[in-house]
């Protein structure tokens, strides 16, 4: 039998922004996440991408979706990784008339209160990158070894690729439609947390304007981290590949679809 992803249908009320949230065994977090998300950003939609979670996260998401038209659920048959989940979610979300597309974690480590600031920042740029480290360190309840790993990974990415951002591994972002469409999603091969590096590197290389927005990151309070040795090894390989193919060269000019290019021409971005 061919599996066909199911998304609860779009209605006549369309938001300007949609948040894509991959889930795998996050049943204990999703109801609170939805409540906080709509408290701080009541006018956005949210699309959950569930990889057939054994803890029945998908069923809980369906219950939430049936109670609120702003909640949508994309069910996938197997666990295929973070990158594949985001790509599936982005493809689905691009079918709607949204202008802004956000990505965030399901475990409440990303604060929904930061969503309006990310959208506002993306309104004057092409991508707003939620940064844990710009202007200082804003991480709560992380063990020291995780903080060292995260900071070390960010420095390694910057040194290898030339990315000029304080937090290039961040998974809390807001894309304008033109930037997301320019990613050429089906050509992205990274799948773990390196997906976050490859996407931001690709847009930076293409000449899109990326701004960092300070956020506070908090360690998950429920469930288990998805970090693994395999994910770390993939990240190392992906970053080396990006640095080898594009050795620290910044773009020479804004992408034609960038807000910077539009501003230079005197057009409304």
Tell if the pTM clears 0.85, that is, is over it: yes
Query: Rounded CA gap, 211 and 189, in Å?
Result: 25
Class of domain 17-264: alpha beta
Q: Specify which residues 180 forms β-bridges with.
A: none
Q: Write the DSSP symbol of residue 48.
A: E
Give me the residue spans of the domains in the chain.
17-264
Query: Rounded CA gap, 247 and 242, in Å?
Result: 8
Query: Rounded CA gap, 226 and 222, in Å?
Result: 12
* Nearest C-alpha neighbor of 153 from the set 206, 87, 231, 80: 231
- What are the pLDDT digits (tens) for 69-108? 999 999 999 998 899 999 999 999 999 999 999 999 999 9
Task: Residue count of the chain, please give it.
Answer: 269
Least confident of 78-92, 139-153, 199-213: 139-153
pLDDT, the chain, mean: 85
* Nearest C-alpha neighbor of 197 from the set 234, 160, 170: 170
The fraction of the chain above a pLDDT of 70, given in percent, is: 79
The answer to whether 205 touches 255, Cβ cutoff 8 Å, is no
Question: Span 244-249, mean pLDDT?
Answer: 64
Q: CA dist 110 to 85, 122, 135, 230, 263, Å?
A: 18, 17, 18, 24, 32
Q: Write the DSSP symbol of residue 207.
A: T
The answer to whether 121 touches 213, Cβ cutoff 8 Å, is yes
Query: Rounded CA gap, 231 and 192, in Å?
Result: 5
Q: Write the DSSP symbol of residue 211.
A: E
Q: Is the dihedral of CA 17, 22, 25, 26 positive or negative?
A: negative
Query: Rounded CA gap, 86 and 177, in Å?
Result: 15
189: pLDDT strictly greater than 50: yes
55: pLDDT strictly greater than 70: yes
pLDDT at 142: 78
Q: Alpha-carbon dihedral of residues 231, 182, 131, 30, nearest 10 degrees?
A: -70
Least confident of 21-30, 151-160, 249-258: 249-258
Question: Span 123-148, mean pLDDT?
Answer: 88
Question: Span 210-224, mean pLDDT?
Answer: 82
The answer to whether 106 touches 61, Cβ cutoff 8 Å, is no
Q: How confident is the model at residue 229 (pLDDT cuts 50, 70, 90)?
A: low
Pick 146 or 8 by higher pLDDT.
Answer: 146
pLDDT at 122: 96
pLDDT at 2: 29
């Amino acid at each position: 039998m061919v599996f066909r992803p199911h998304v609860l249908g779009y209605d006549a009320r369309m938001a300007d922004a949609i948040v894509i949230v991959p889930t795998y065994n996050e049943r204990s977090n999703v109801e609170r996440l939805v409540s906080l998300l709509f408290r701080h950003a009541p006018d956005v939609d949210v699309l959950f991408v569930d990889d057939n979670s054994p803890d029945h996260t998908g069923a809980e998401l369906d219950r939430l979706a049936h109670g609120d038209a702003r909640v949508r659920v994309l069910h996938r048959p197997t666990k295929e990784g973070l990158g594949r989940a985001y790509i599936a979610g982005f493809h689905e979300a691009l079918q709607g008339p949204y202008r802004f597309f956000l990505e965030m974690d399901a475990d409440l480590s990303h604060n929904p209160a930061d969503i309006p600031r990310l959208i506002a920042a993306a309104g004057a740029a092409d991508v707003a990158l939620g940064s844990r480290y710009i202007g200082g360190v804003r991480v709560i309840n992380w063990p020291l070894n995780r903080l060292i790993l995260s900071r070390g990974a960010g420095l390694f990415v910057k040194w290898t690729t030339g990315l000029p951002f304080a937090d290039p591994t961040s998974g809390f972002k807001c894309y304008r439609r033109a930037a997301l469409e320019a990613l050429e999603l089906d050509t992205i091969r990274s799948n773990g947390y390196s997906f976050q590096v490859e996407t931001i590197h690709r847009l930076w290389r293409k000449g899109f304007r990326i701004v960092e927005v300070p956020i506070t990151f908090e360690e998950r309070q429920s469930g288990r981290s998805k970090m693994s040795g395999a994910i770390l090894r993939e990240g190392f390989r992906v970053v080396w590949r990006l640095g080898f193919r594009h050795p620290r060269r910044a773009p020479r000019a804004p992408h034609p679809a960038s807000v910077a290019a539009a501003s230079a021409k005197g057009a409304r971005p």
